[in-house]
């Protein structure tokens, strides 16, 4: 099952305001709901991102490879200090355990009007089971080929070539509060792939709980549905 699990956090809303106030040699020992909330909203509204770079959050993400590689594209341009992230992923150069594959609950149609990106409405019910059968057959063939290669003495780093993009991968990703807000701004958009939006919503909810005031200010203009499709 696709999942983004919060592992650890560093800092809080108070860290954001104290980082901003250091320029005036000031510091609060506790979070003031009025003045500190106003300051955070000001920082987010005016694009003062560096105070949001100090708090950090670490997630373990479990996602099929085809979605994971699309996920990585939000990192393009993440070169500024407050955008930096860290990423470590399970490698099948070393791991040769039984692969796990993603299977969609609903098959979606090709989008209408010759649109290249995304998907359309669900396929008719009479097509759903046939598509699932095709997928299951492909998975069984891939698992058999993978195991046969390993049993023949092939190195895991080569045997993995027969595994499909729908195989799950797991990685740990650590980034700043600002980094995660930037990711969610991009990946909760209606144009993002549905599987990615489902994972991003989990991150959104976890960050909203860990950094409630800052997250609300950073994501103020983003309409997030209560239930993701």
Which residues participate in catalysis according to the annotation? 187
Cβ-based neighbour number of residue 204 at 10 Å: 23
Q: What angle do CA 148, 142, 131 make, to 5 degrees?
A: 155
DSSP state letters, 113-181: TT--SS--SBPPHHHHHHHHHHHHHHHHHHHHHHHHHHHTT--HHHHGGGS-TTBEEEEEEEEEHHHHH
Tokens of 102: 């993603």
State the residue for tokens 């355990």: 97
Q: What is the C-alpha to C-alpha distance for residues 154 and 135, in angstroms, rounded to an integer?
A: 26
**Which residues touch 212 (CB under 8 Å, ≥6 apart)?**
13
């Amino acid at each position: 099952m696709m999942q983004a699990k919060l592992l650890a956090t560093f800092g809080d809303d108070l860290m954001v305001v104290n980082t901003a106030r250091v320029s005036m040699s000031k510091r609060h020992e506790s979070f003031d709901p009025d003045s500190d909330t106003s300051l955070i909203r000001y920082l987010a509204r005016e694009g003062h991102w560096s105070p949001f770079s100090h708090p950090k959050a670490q997630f373990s993400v479990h996602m099929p490879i085809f979605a994971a590689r699309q996920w990585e594209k939000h990192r393009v341009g993440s070169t500024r200090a407050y955008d930096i992230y860290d990423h470590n992923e399970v490698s099948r150069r070393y791991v040769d355990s039984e692969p796990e594959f993603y299977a969609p609950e609903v098959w979606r149609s090709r989008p209408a009007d010759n649109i290249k990106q995304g998907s359309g409405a669900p396929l008719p019910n009479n097509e759903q089971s046939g598509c699932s059968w095709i997928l299951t057959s492909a998975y069984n063939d891939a698992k058999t080929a993978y195991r046969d290669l390993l049993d023949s003495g092939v190195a895991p780093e080569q045997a993995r070539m027969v595994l499909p993009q729908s195989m799950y991968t797991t990685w740990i990703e650590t980034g700043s509060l600002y980094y995660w807000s930037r990711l969610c701004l991009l990946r909760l958009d209606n144009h993002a792939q549905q599987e990615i939006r489902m994972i991003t919503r989990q991150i959104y909810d976890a960050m909203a709980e860990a950094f409630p005031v800052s997250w609300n200010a950073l994501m103020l203009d983003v309409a997030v549905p209560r239930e993701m499709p």
